[in-house]
Every structure is written in C-alpha cells, then in structure tokens.
C-alpha cells in the first residue's frame, strides 16, 4: 500500500521542469552556493539527535553514536571541505595552447550542468543523500533527491530538513517505492547519481539510457582484506572488526571477506572473537551499540547465507550471543574457508557475516582477488612497503585503505567511486565538483594569428605549413 506522503509519478516531470526553469532564470553564483552550503550545515548540525532518532526508528535500533559519526560527521566534513575550496574550484583554469597556436590562450571553465538527480540508499540514508546533494549545490546546480523507501522516517526527516533550507524550486524531494524510483531514474536529468546495488545500478543505467543522462554509479561488490605474513593479527583483527561490524556490516565498503595465511587463520579467529567480546560482550549484551538488520527481508537473506553454508559443510563460528529474528539481531559470525559455490561468496554480504579464506602465498591471494569482479574497496595489511606496493600494482579497486578499513571514504580530498561492476565515476571533493560541472573548454583567439594564413591557396603559406608540420 502506498504511503499518502509518497510522490505521484505524474508529478515528477513537472517538478523537474520547475527546478530547471528556476536554474535557467538565475544560475547560482558563489554567494548563493556558499550560503546554501552554510545553511545546510547549520540545519543538520542542529538536528543530529533528531536525525539519529529517525534512523534508529527505521532500523529497529541503531547506535546513536554510529549515526552521529557515519551520517553526521561525514556530511559536515564534506561541507567544510566544499566551503574551504569552493572559490578556487569555481575559477577558470588556464590551459597552455602550445607554440603552434600562440598568441591564442585557452581555459577550462567549470560551468553548472542544470538539475542533478540523486538516488540514495538506506544503509547510510543521510550521508549518501546529503554529500552528493551538497556537492551538486557547490557546483551550481539544482537538485532533485529520491531517498530510500526502506528508511521512510529518515526520508521524511530529509524532506523536512531540505524544505527549511532551500526554496522549493532549488531542491526538491521525491518520496516513494520502486515505481517512483523507476520513473525518477527515467527523467531527463543533466546528471544522475545513484548509490546502491550492482543489480539495481544496471536498471538505473538502462532507465537513463534513452535520455543519454550522464551517470555516476556508486555500487558495491565484495571488498577483500588481505593480511600479509608480517602484519600483527591482533591489530588487523581490531581494524577489520571496526570496518565489518560498524552498522552491523551494512556498509558498501565493509570488508566482505578476509584472505589470511593458512597458518594464521585460527589466530585471526581468536583475535576477532576477542574484539567482539570487548566491544559487545561475550553474550552480545551491549546491544545498545549493535545495530539491527534494517528489515525482515534483509534478515532472511542473511540467514539464508548461513543455512546454505551449513548445508555445504562450511564451519560457521558465532563470535558472541545468538540470533534473534524478532529483533532482527544477527550476531557477528565467521565462515571458515567457504568455497566459491557458497552463496555467501557469490553476493555482496551487507551484514555481519565474515568469510575467512586461507591462502598459501601472497601471489595466490592476489590471483583470487583478480579472478573476481573489481571491488569497491581493498584493504591490504602489511608493514612492508614492498608487499603493499605489490598488491596495489597487481590489483585494481575503487579505493584503498592500507592497514585499516573504511577511512578512505571519509577523507575530504579523496574521490570515492568504483570500477567496473563496483561503480562508474566518482564524487567527493574536487572529483564530485568536476563530475557535476561541465568543464567548458574556451579558446580566446588573438587579434592577429597565423591561423588566418592557413587557407587556400595553401602555396602562399607553404613556409608556415612547413614550420608547423615538422
């Protein structure tokens, strides 16, 4: 049954037309962009508790501190970075023309595109809505946002927040389920950014194709951690535990599996168990800091991975507590050396399950990564620079944190994006500003130029032709 607050699909195109007409009438200058970003920052900063409450209600429970970090701090950090660099990024960049075309001069002008569409997912529903929205605003665009239907309270929070910050003809929000999402993706945006699964990303790309809408696709996949022989298992376990069980593993760049030397696998199991006990209690008693699975469908999917693994004889190790379907509590769980035929090794996990895969040589581990789709993130653990460089040289991923997990996403100056099935294009920082702008090439011709001589009969300018074609 539709929510009465859902947007009618018939309203989507007129809303886009209104946003575009307003943008065409008054394209945002530096003062407007800066003012918009500052008001957005102030409004979100003042509502972090309300935001965390909305997210917790959508998840059944989510740590307020995790929401403040992942959906609060990250957005504030990106807005701060945009504000710091906005004036410099807006300036035209001089481009050399080469001696053959002197005395002409050339430049690249970052010009706003128009209206940018943003389709945000449920796992970090504020972060992954407001960071691309803020970036599009910084680039001088208007924005039409489609938040996730799976976090309806947070989506309504975003609608109210943005209505207070922006005029209705500058930022609009569409609420609704799959039907609204499909119609939204088919609109003729000037740029469309989608964050979600690879499967849905394919549908978004197909919907955008008739309009040739430029796309940024932030997808997912299976992001591996590789622990080298030299790296302390206890420290690797601590950092992998943070990356894996933050938000209960419902993170697109969470470690999806760990490649560990065979002789060190059991030590890693013990170290991960110790980390879970220290964070959540041996009986999973600290449920206040442990986020729930977002809905019954996701819970059933993850439970299906465990059932499939057990049926295949895979050793399943629950690190603390027990599952509780009624509360959608799924404890931190390891799966030891599952085969590639196991469903948990075929799909992006997006939950608290962590396969450990043993390897004999580093080359074997690298070959395993390269035999699968290019991941959104890669996490090499080694104190030997040569080992890390070997891994980086031999693999390709969307982004890398060396000797840690997740944190490359939060660095304001680093672009974020996948490669191949894990995504297309990038945003954050200058990369996002450039992606949501047209880098307009402009040539300024001089009053007198040798180009005026390059016309038939070419025999009259043979000396010039001989000069430039040498």
CATH topology for 9-219+421-442 is Aldehyde Dehydrogenase; Chain A, domain 1 (3.40.605)
Instruction: Using alpha carbons, select from 344, 342, 391 the residue that is nearest to residue 225.
Output: 391
Residue 308: CB partners within 8 Å, gap ≥ 6? 342, 343, 344
Contact criterion met (CB below 8 Å) for 351 and 249: yes
Whether 92 has a pLDDT exceeding 70, the answer reads yes
Name the band, by pLDDT with cuts 50, 70 and 90, for residue 305: very high
Catalytic residue among 66, 218, 248, 348: 218
Q: Give pLDDT, residue 72.
A: 97
End-to-end CA distance of the chain: 72
Whether 276 has a pLDDT exceeding 80, the answer reads yes
Q: How many CA atoms lie within 13 A of 262 on its CB side?
A: 5
Nearest-5° angle of CA 85, CA 161, CA 158?
Answer: 95
d(CA 428, CA 421): 20
Whether 115 has a pLDDT exceeding 60, the answer reads yes
Domain ranges of the chain: 9-219+421-442, 224-417
Q: What is the mean pLDDT of residues 160-176?
A: 97
Whether 459 has a pLDDT exceeding 70, the answer reads yes
Per residue in 124-144, pLDDT tens?
999 999 999 999 999 999 999
Name the band, by pLDDT with cuts 50, 70 and 90, for residue 461: confident
Whether 190 has a pLDDT exceeding 70, the answer reads yes
Q: What is the mean pLDDT of residues 458-463?
A: 87
234 catalytic, yes or no? no
Give the per-residue SS3 of the chain. Answer: CCCCCCCCHHHHHHHHHHHHHHHHHCCCCHHHHHHHHHHHHHHHHCCHHHHHHHHHHHHCCCCHHHHHHHHHHHHHHHHHHHHHHHHHHHCCEEECCCHHHCCCEEEEEEEECCEEEEECCCCCCCHHHHHHHHHHHHCCCEEEEECCCCCHHHHHHHHHHHHHHCCCCCEEECCCCHHHHHHHHCCCCCEEEEECCHHHHHHHHHHHHHHCCCEEEECCCCCEEEECCCCCHHHHHHHHHHHHHHHHHCCCCCCCEEEEEHHHHHHHHHHHHHHHHHHHCCCCCCHHHCCCCCCHHHHHHHHHHHHHHHHCCCEEEECCCCCECCCCECCCEEEECCCCCCHHHCCCCCCCEEEEEEECCHHHHHHHHHCCCCCCCEEEECCCHHHHHHHHHHCCCCCECCCCCCHHHHCCCCCECCCHHHEECCECHHHHHHHCEEEEEEEECCCCCHHHHCCCCHHHHHHHHHHHCC
Name the band, by pLDDT with cuts 50, 70 and 90, for residue 149: very high
Q: What is the mean pLDDT of residues 314-342?
A: 97
d(CA 308, CA 314): 9
Whether 1 has a pLDDT exceeding 50, the answer reads no
Catalytic residue among 66, 248, 252, 348: 252
Q: Rounded to whole angstroms, what are the CA distances from 332 to 4, 285, 319, 323?
A: 38, 13, 6, 10
Q: Give pLDDT, residue 4.
A: 53
Name the band, by pLDDT with cuts 50, 70 and 90, for residue 7: confident
Q: Give pLDDT, residue 376.
A: 96
Query: Omega before 103 cis (within 30°)?
Result: yes
Q: What is the CATH number of domain 224-417?
A: 3.40.309.10
Q: What is the mean pLDDT of residues 453-458?
A: 88
218 catalytic, yes or no? yes
Q: Give pLDDT, residue 170.
A: 98
For the chain, the average pLDDT equals: 96
For 35-39, 355-359, 375-379, 460-464, which range has the lowest pLDDT when averaged over its residues? 460-464
Whether 2 has a pLDDT exceeding 60, the answer reads no
For residue 33, give both structure tokens.
């962009």
């Amino acid at each position: 049954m539709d929510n009465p607050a859902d947007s009618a699909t018939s309203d989507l195109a007129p809303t886009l037309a209104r946003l575009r007409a307003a943008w065409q009438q008054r394209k945002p200058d530096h003062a407007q962009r800066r003012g918009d970003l500052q008001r957005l920052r102030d409004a979100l900063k003042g509502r972090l508790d309300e935001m965390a409450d909305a997210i917790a209600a959508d998840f059944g429970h989510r740590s307020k501190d995790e929401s403040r970090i992942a959906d609060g701090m990250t957005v504030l950090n990106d807005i701060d970075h945009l504000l710091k660099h906005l004036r410099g990024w807006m300036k035209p960049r001089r481009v050399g023309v080469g001696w053959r075309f002197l005395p002409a001069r050339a430049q690249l002008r970052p010009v706003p595109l128009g209206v940018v569409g943003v389709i945000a997912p449920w796992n970090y529903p504020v972060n992954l809505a407001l960071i691309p929205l803020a970036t599009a605003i910084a680039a001088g665009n208007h924005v039409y946002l489609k938040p996730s239907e799976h976090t309806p309270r947070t989506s309504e929070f975003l609608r109210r927040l943005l209505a207070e910050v922006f005029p209705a003809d500058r930022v609009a929000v569409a609420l609704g389920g799959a039907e609204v999402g499909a119609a939204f993706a088919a609109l003729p945006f000037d740029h469309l950014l989608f964050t979600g699964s690879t499967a849905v990303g394919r549908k978004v790309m197909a919907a955008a194709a008739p309009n040739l809408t430029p796309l940024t696709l932030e997808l997912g996949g299976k992001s591996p951690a590789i622990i080298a022989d030299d790296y302390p298992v206890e420290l690797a376990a601590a950092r992998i535990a943070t990356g894996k069980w933050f938000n209960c593993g419902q993170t697109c760049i969470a470690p999806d599996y760990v490649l560990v030397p065979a002789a060190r696998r059991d030590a890693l199991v013990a170290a991960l168990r110790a980390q879970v006990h220290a964070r959540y209690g041996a009986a999973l008693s600290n449920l206040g800091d442990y986020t729930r699975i977002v809905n019954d469908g996701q819970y059933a999917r993850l439970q299906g991975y465990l059932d499939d693994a057990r049926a295949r004889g895979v050793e399943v190790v629950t690190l603390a507590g027990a599952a509780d379907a009624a509360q959608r509590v799924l404890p931190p769980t390891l799966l030891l050396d599952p085969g590639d035929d196991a469903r948990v090794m075929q799909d992006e996990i997006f939950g608290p399950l962590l396969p450990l895969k043993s390897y004999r040589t580093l080359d074997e581990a690298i070959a395993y990564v390269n035999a699968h789709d290019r991941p959104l993130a890669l996490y090499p653990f080694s104190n030997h620079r040569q080992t890390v460089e070997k891994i980086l040289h031999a693999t390709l991923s969307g982004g890398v944190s060396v000797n840690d997990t997740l944190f490359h996403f939060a660095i304001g100056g680093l672009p974020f994006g996948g490669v191949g099935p894990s995504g297309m294009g990038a945003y954050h920082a200058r990369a996002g500003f450039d992606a949501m702008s047209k880098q307009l090439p402009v040539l300024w011709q001089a009053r007198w130029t040798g180009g005026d001589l390059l016309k038939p009969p070419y025999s009259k300018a043979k000396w010039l032709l001989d000069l430039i074609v040498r």
